[in-house]
Amino acid sequence: MTEVLLKELSNQDIDWMLAVGHRVEIESGTVLVRQNQPLDALHILLDGAMTILLTQADTNPLGRAFAALEGGTLPGREIAWLTSGEMVGEIPFVETYLPSTTVQATTKSVVLTIPKNQLIQKLQEDQEFAAHLYRAIAVMLANRLQQMMSHFGRSTVVLSRPELREALIVFAELHDSDIDWLIAAGRVQQVAENTVLMRSGRPIEAFHIVLDGAVSLNSTEDEENPLSRVFSNLEEDENPILERELARLSRGDMLGETPFIEAQTPAVTVRALRDSRVLSIPRWRMSAKLLHDVGFAARFYRVLAILLADKQQAMVQRLGYGRLSYSSGDSLDSSFANELNQNFLAQVALAGARFEWMLKRVKVQ
pLDDT at 114 exceeding the cut of 50 = yes
Instruction: Look at residue 74 in the predicted model and tell me its pLDDT.
Output: 43
Which 3 state secondary structure label does DSSP give 319? Answer: coil
Distances (CA, A) of 186 to 286, 352, 356: 10, 20, 17
Beta strands in 144-293 (DSSP E): 187-191, 196-198, 206-212, 215-220, 243-249, 254-255, 269-272, 276-282
For the stretch 248-298, pLDDT in tens is: 888 888 888 888 887 666 678 899 999 999 999 999 999 999 999 999 999
Residue 363 has what pLDDT?
73
pLDDT digits (tens, 9 = 90+) for 31-54: 999 888 888 899 999 999 999 888
139 has pLDDT over 50: yes
Starting at the edge strand that comes first in sequence, how are the strands of the sheet with 269-272 ordered?
A: 196-198, 269-272, 215-220, 243-249
DSSP assignment of 61-102: HHHHHHHHHHT--SSEEEEEEEETT-EES-GGGT--SPPSSE
What per-residue confidence (pLDDT) applies to 342? 61
Fold classified for 164-364: Jelly Rolls (2.60.120)
**pLDDT of 123 strictly over 90:** yes
Do 159 and 266 contact (CB within 8 A), yes or no?
yes
Q: Which CATH architecture has domain 2-125?
A: Sandwich (2.60)
Same fold? 2-125, 164-364: yes
Q: pLDDT tens digits, residue range 226-240?
A: 555 555 555 445 445
Of 147-156, 181-190, 296-305, the least confident: 147-156
- pLDDT, residue 148, reads 74
- The angle at the Cα of 296, spanning 295 to 297, to the nearest 5 degrees, equals 90
Largest CA distance in the chain: 63
Q: State whether the Cα torsion 75-78-82-83 is positive or negative.
A: positive
Q: What is the DSSP letter of 245?
A: E
DSSP code for 253: -
Q: Which residues pair with 187 in a beta bridge?
A: 280
The structural domains of the chain, with segments of one domain joined by +, span: 2-125, 164-364
The answer to whether the beta carbons of residues 226 and 219 sit under 8 Å apart is no
Residue 105 pLDDT greater than 90, yes or no: yes
211, 242 contact by CB (below 8 A): no
For 55-84, write each residue's pLDDT tens digit: 765 444 544 554 455 444 445 678 788 999
Asked which of 19-23, 146-150, 216-220 is least confident by mean pLDDT, the reply is 146-150
* Lowest-confidence segment of 85-94, 158-167, 256-265, 311-320 by average pLDDT: 158-167
